[in-house]
Amino acid sequence: MSKINKHSPNTLFEFTPIGVVESPYQEKFAVPRQPGLVSAADAKILLTNKYNHQDLIKGIEQYSHLWVIFVFHETLAQGWKPLVRPPRLGGNEKMGVLATRSTFRPNPIGMSVVKLERVELTKIAGKSQVILHISGVDIVNNTPIIDIKPYIPYSDAVTQAEAGFAQAEPTRTSKIQFSKQAAEQLKHYCAQYPKLELLIEQVLCQDPRPAYKQSKLDAKEYGMSLYNLNIQWKMIDLSMIEVFNISQN
């Protein structure tokens, strides 16, 4: 008879990253609060070390979407909190961390559904490299990946599910305009980043300001890092955001 291995509640488990994300988001600010909200956010997953082998992804191209399991490495040092303030509630009401998707979790693990655009087998610096091209990401650049699973529509999409205060996608009414200077700068970078204009518009439509400022007008000038660019913008009124400068970091 085989022996059942029972772990105590205090057993520690060690996970090794299997890959890393290359994403346009260079910092937590401006990352959409859920995956799929910014379709123009293209990214790559590069498998690493012994996991960088094409056998691991054999057949993965059959799936249109993937679950990506990752580490909230940017908030890891800040620890976790039993109560958090969800941005969806304006940052004013506290909820239990396990009733939210806060990054400040007992174990700093995140999960996102992303679209698989294509699989690339290439060489970098003379070494074979497996790359998964994905889109619709809400993941910061250089995020460690600890697992990838196929998205299965018949079991993963629960159409009758109830989601409390997050039942429906937030409605965004802000329009985005580019100043004359920013429009000229955009033309300069569009060859390198073909979806840059759409990416900026989709990100800003989410109003990345702190939750307590949403639906409120403020005169502050903001900056966000996308790729190697600093995108500077400000509120014109409650329905208009202006991008006034695009420059390299």
Scanning the chain, the segments in alpha helix (DSSP H) are 153-156, 180-189, 196-205
Is the pLDDT score of 182 beyond 70? yes
Handedness of CA 182, 227, 199, 170 (dihedral sign): negative
Is the pLDDT score of 5 beyond 80? no
CA 36 to chain centre: 9
* pLDDT tens readout for residues 41-59: 999 999 999 999 999 999 9
With CA atoms as reference, report the closest residue to 144 among 15, 17, 13, 57: 17
Which percentage of the chain shows pLDDT scores above 70?
95
CA end-to-end distance (rounded Å), the chain: 63
What is residue 4's predicted lDDT score, i.e. its pLDDT? 55
Q: Which domains does the chain have, with CATH numbers?
A: 19-73+108-156 (2.40.30.70), 170-248 (3.30.2310.20)
What is residue 1's predicted lDDT score, i.e. its pLDDT? 45
Is the pLDDT score of 210 beyond 50? yes
Is the pLDDT score of 218 beyond 90? no
What is residue 173's predicted lDDT score, i.e. its pLDDT? 65
DSSP 2-55: PPP-PPPTT--------EEEE-SB-SSTT--SSTTS-TT-EEEEEE-GGG-SGG
Q: At what angle do helices 196-205 and 180-189 cross, to 10 degrees?
A: 130
Average pLDDT on 200-218 reads 86
CA 28 to chain centre: 9
What is residue 3's predicted lDDT score, i.e. its pLDDT? 54
Average pLDDT on 13-22 reads 95
Average pLDDT, the chain: 90
Q: What is the CA radius of gyration of the chain?
A: 20
Scanning 98-195, the segments in alpha helix (DSSP H) are 153-156, 180-189
* pLDDT tens readout for residues 133-157: 999 999 999 999 999 999 999 999 8
What is residue 185's predicted lDDT score, i.e. its pLDDT? 96
23 vs 21: CA distance, rounded Å: 6
What is residue 82's predicted lDDT score, i.e. its pLDDT? 94
What is residue 90's predicted lDDT score, i.e. its pLDDT? 74
Q: Which residue has the higher pLDDT, 233 or 211?
A: 233
Adjacent-strand bridge partners of 175: 240
* pLDDT tens readout for residues 99-135: 988 889 999 999 999 999 999 999 988 899 999 999 9
Residue 111, φ and ψ in degrees, nearest 5: -145, 140
Contact present, 107 and 229 (Cβ < 8 Å): no
Contact present, 199 and 41 (Cβ < 8 Å): yes
CA 120 to chain centre: 21
